Amino acid sequence: YLTQATSALTRDTITSAESKCSDLADALSGMVLSVSYEDVKLAVEGITQLASNILVAVNTPLMGRGIALNSDFDSANTLPAYYDTDIESPWSNPNLFADGNDFSLETIEKNRNLYYQQQNSNEAITHVENILTECVKTLSVHMNIGQTNIIDTDSIQMTTSKLIMGNLGSLNISEAGGSIIRLPKLSYCSLLLGSDSCSNNTEIIANSVVLPLAAAGYNGRTYAHVNMSRSVSLDILDSTG
């Protein structure tokens, strides 16, 4: 329940949720051999929903799809304790927060809050990517070649398939909204792994993820042409992850 109300999560709450989510993924990985496939699937579904909610929460203000929370706004614009000692602190650099020649206090405070929201988003993206990868590796332990696991919730759609490298060129992955990911027939061993030990019989995991909100990017400003977009990703993992 920590992340269900995504529009009400402060940056501190998001950071706490990231830590708890990562701990859950690590704990599940550590007990995977003693837990049934059904229980692993249920746990992965819960963890991935939590991870998706984290990304939605942190990016909602950046994309203009929700308001900035008062506590975050006040925190961003409160004089930091290191103000007198850290001359490189971005907090006191108005050029980072101005809109062109607009150096008004209202603009500076608004964009300073966006700046720290963006930093939080950048960290969340990295953490969530690691969490999803850990979940996929854990899930794959119980999967056989040719098997596919699908998670389809309001928070996330994730399709995980275990296959051999030689079948990657014929892989079709159906996504939300009727879209399909089709991969061309290429030499994926050299393209993806670059390993002499790779062959058409090398076991791999193909994992596609659809999230309800695309990340805002890394510049701390909102772009209208992505603020109504979903995020779609595809990862190919070998035995080393």
User: Within 60-196, where are the H helices?
Assistant: 70-76, 105-140, 188
**What tokens appear for 91 in the block?**
């907090």
Tell me the C-alpha to C-alpha distance, in Å, between residue 70 and each of 5, 67, 79, 108, 218. Answer: 16, 9, 16, 16, 23
Q: Which DSSP helix (H) or strand (E) runs through 162?
A: strand 157-164
pTM: 0.85
Residue 155 is classified by DSSP as S
Chain segment 200-236, per-residue pLDDT in tens: 888 889 998 888 777 766 544 544 455 556 777 888 8
Chain segment 19-37, per-residue pLDDT in tens: 999 999 999 999 999 999 9
Chain segment 171-188, per-residue pLDDT in tens: 777 765 566 777 777 777
Q: Which amino acid is at 118?
A: Q
Q: Report the distance separating Cα 221 and Cα 232, nearest Å.
A: 21
Angle between helices 37-59 and 11-30 (to 10 degrees): 160
Tell me the C-alpha to C-alpha distance, in Å, between residue 1 and each of 5, 70, 103. Answer: 8, 22, 40
**What tokens appear for 84 in the block?**
């007198």
Residue 73's pLDDT band, with cuts at 50, 70 and 90, is: very high
